[in-house]
């Protein structure tokens, strides 16, 4: 996927109320590689707060474009995606960000795409929705549907970034352990646990089944964690040069079922 596609995506804020939200939006955009910010119907806001909240994304804030109306902000866009948290006659055909992200990328391959976010207190009007070619809605609980403006921008930009396939998780540098190597490790553990008195020969086979399970999947159950805590406790006891030799050594209480 060509990373230049993100250059064709424009975030449009309509009549935002707070400089802090504008700055936080810039930061969210920078996190996801989107740099084109437009503000429609700008009002007087705290610019110092905007710069502070933009953090290292100040360039996006400084390079923003401002327009008297939403129509002018999206005049060169073939696809205009509007956000809405409300429901109603003109808001019935909404999609989730994850559903609409591939469409945004397809459209960005042909030209500029605008993603429009409304006012913090009222969202987009029906007249502004009429400018949009598509609508999206971020799923939330019914009890509290309002998102902070920059949070909403981040959710949408994140879904676009992931859909574009840009993120590559770090690869494991080491090769997978072979069966033979793991068996050597388990033998070493068996010898050590017998030596420190964590288990005796009679219960060794049973206890090693638990050790194998823990090391194969990670400590997930209460029994798993108690085994690992018991190993730690017994190891400390065995290493203590002043330990009372008459003390009964730790025995794991895990069920043998």
Backbone angles phi, psi at 165, to 5 degrees: 75, 25
Torsion of CA 28, 34, 38, 39, to 10 degrees: -10
Q: Give the distance from CA 42 to its chain's centroid.
A: 31
Q: According to the model, what pLDDT value does residue 257 have? A: 45
pLDDT tens column, 35-92: 999 999 999 999 999 999 999 999 999 999 999 999 999 999 999 999 988 665 555 6
Give the containing element (helix H, strand E) for 134.
strand 134-136
- The highest-level CATH class for domain 3-163 is alpha beta
Torsion of CA 31, 37, 40, 42, to 10 degrees: 80
Can you say whether the dihedral through the CA atoms of 107, 4, 74, 122 is positive or negative? positive
Dmax over Cα atoms in the chain, in whole Å? 86
Are 44 and 16 a contacting pair, CB within 8 Å? no
pLDDT in tens, the chain (257 residues): 456 899 999 999 999 999 999 999 999 999 999 999 999 999 999 999 999 999 999 999 999 999 999 999 999 999 999 998 866 555 567 899 999 999 999 999 999 999 999 999 999 998 999 999 999 999 999 888 889 999 999 999 999 999 999 888 887 787 888 888 888 889 988 999 998 888 999 999 999 999 898 888 887 788 888 888 888 888 888 888 776 655 445 555 554 44
Instruction: Supply angle C-alpha 12, 76, 71, rounded to 5.
Output: 55
Say whether 14 sits in a helix, a strand or coil: strand
Structure-block tokens of residue 23: 């700055």
Between CA 62 and CA 110 the distance in angstroms is: 27
Structure-block tokens of residue 66: 């401002």
Give whole-number Cα distances, 251 to 196, 201, 234, 248, 255, in Å.
Answer: 11, 12, 9, 9, 12
Q: According to the model, what pLDDT value does residue 171 have? A: 78
- Give one word for 218, left, alpha or beta, with left for phi > 0 and alpha for psi -120 to 50: left
Of 106, 116, 39, which is closest to residue 81 (Cα–Cα)? 116
Of 23, 1, 4, 3, which is closest to residue 13 (Cα–Cα)? 23
């Amino acid at each position: 996927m060509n990373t230049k596609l993100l250059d064709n995506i424009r975030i449009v804020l309509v009549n935002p109320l707070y400089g802090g939200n504008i700055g936080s939006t810039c930061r969210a955009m920078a996190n996801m590689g989107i740099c084109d910010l437009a503000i429609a119907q700008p009002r007087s806001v705290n610019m110092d707060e905007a710069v502070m909240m933009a953090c290292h994304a100040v360039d996006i804030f400084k390079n923003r474009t401002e327009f008297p109306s939403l129509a002018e902000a999206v005049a060169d866009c073939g696809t205009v995606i509007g956000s809405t948290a409300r429901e109603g006659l003109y808001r019935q055909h909404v999609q989730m960000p994850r559903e609409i992200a591939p469409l945004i990328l397809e459209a960005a391959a042909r030209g500029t795409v605008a993603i429009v976010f409304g006012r913090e207190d009222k969202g987009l009007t029906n007249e502004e929705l009429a400018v949009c070619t598509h609508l999206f809605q971020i799923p939330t609980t019914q009890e509290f549907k309002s998102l902070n403006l920059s949070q909403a921008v981040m959710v949408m930009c994140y879904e676009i970034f992931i859909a574009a396939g840009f993120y590559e998780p770090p690869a494991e540098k080491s090769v997978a352990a072979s069966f033979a190597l793991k068996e050597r490790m388990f033998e070493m553990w068996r010898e050590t646990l017998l030596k420190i008195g964590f288990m005796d020969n009679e219960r060794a086979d049973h206890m090693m089944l638990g050790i194998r399970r823990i090391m194969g999947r990670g400590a997930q159950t209460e029994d798993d964690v108690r085994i690992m805590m018991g190993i730690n406790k017994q190891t400390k006891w065995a290493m203590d040069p002043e330990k009372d030799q008459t003390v009964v050594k730790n025995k794991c209480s895990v069920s043998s079922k």
